[in-house]
């Protein structure tokens, strides 16, 4: 029994030392538009969107009309968005330097009974940061406020602030 006392005492002291360490609070960080500046390009830049897939062909008129408005996001991109059903918004990003069209691959769906300020996009012409509030696709578990970084070819999630809700739309484009 004496042989067991020393390891048990050492274990108890080690456990007490770990529990006595101060707990560090998780730091919250909210990205800002100024954290992700975009490359400056000449004003009024426009390019004909390249239509090279069935989904782009389906939306060719919207892509061309939206692209004609010029840049509004990330320096030389046009972020184009339109409704895809009740409480649903789809969007594409057009590079106004070369006409390349990017499909994010998901829709933004409004939370059920959500106020207008809990749904939509926030972006600036001089920043690569895109803030989206709502649900990705038709999944209530995906609802939240997303801080997304545009890399030049895709959106990467920087931070997600979850939201517990149901979604308003059950249909929409997939």
Averaged pLDDT for residues 23-27? 40
pLDDT, position 142 = 84
- Highest mean pLDDT range out of 17-26, 65-74, 107-116, 140-149? 65-74
- Average pLDDT across the chain, whole number: 79
CA nearest neighbour of 99 among 46, 150, 41: 46
**Residue 28 clears pLDDT 50, i.e. is over it:** yes
pLDDT class for 9, splitting at 50, 70, 90?
very low
Whether residue 167 lies inside any domain: the answer is: no
Whole-model pTM: value is 0.75
**Residue 134 clears pLDDT 70, i.e. is over it:** yes
How many domains are there within the chain?
A: 1
Whether residue 56 lies inside any domain: the answer is: yes
**Residue 130 clears pLDDT 50, i.e. is over it:** yes
Q: Are 149 and 158 in contact (CB under 8 A)?
A: yes
Whether residue 94 lies inside any domain: the answer is: yes
DSSP, collapsed to helix, strand or coil, labels residue 18 as helix
Structural domain that includes position 141: 32-162
pLDDT class for 44, splitting at 50, 70, 90?
confident
Whether residue 143 lies inside any domain: the answer is: yes
pLDDT in tens, 79-96: 999 998 888 899 999 999
Whether residue 171 lies inside any domain: the answer is: no
% of the chain exceeding 70 in pLDDT: 73
State CA 77 to chain mean position distance: 16
pLDDT, position 48 = 94
* Six-digit token string for 13: 């002291």
Whether residue 118 lies inside any domain: the answer is: yes
Whether residue 19 lies inside any domain: the answer is: no
Whether residue 21 lies inside any domain: the answer is: no
């Amino acid at each position: 029994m004496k042989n067991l006392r020393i390891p048990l005492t050492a274990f108890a002291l080690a456990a007490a030392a770990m529990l006595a360490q101060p707990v560090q609070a998780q730091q919250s960080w909210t990205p800002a538009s100024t954290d992700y500046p975009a490359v400056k390009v000449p004003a009024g830049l426009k390019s004909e969107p390249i239509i090279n897939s069935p989904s782009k062909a389906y939306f060719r008129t919207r892509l061309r009309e939206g692209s004609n408005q010029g840049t509004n996001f990330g320096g030389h991109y046009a972020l184009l968005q339109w409704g895809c059903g009740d409480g649903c918004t789809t969007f594409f990003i057009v590079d106004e330097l070369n006409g390349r069209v990017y499909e994010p691959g998901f829709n933004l769906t409004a939370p059920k009974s959500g106020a207008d300020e809990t749904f939509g996009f926030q972006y600036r012409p001089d920043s690569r940061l895109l803030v989206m509030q709502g649900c990705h696709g038709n999944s209530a578990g995906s609802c939240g406020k997303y801080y997304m970084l545009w890399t030049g070819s895709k959106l990467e999630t920087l931070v997600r602030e979850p939201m517990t809700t149901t979604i308003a739309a059950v249909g929409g484009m997939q």
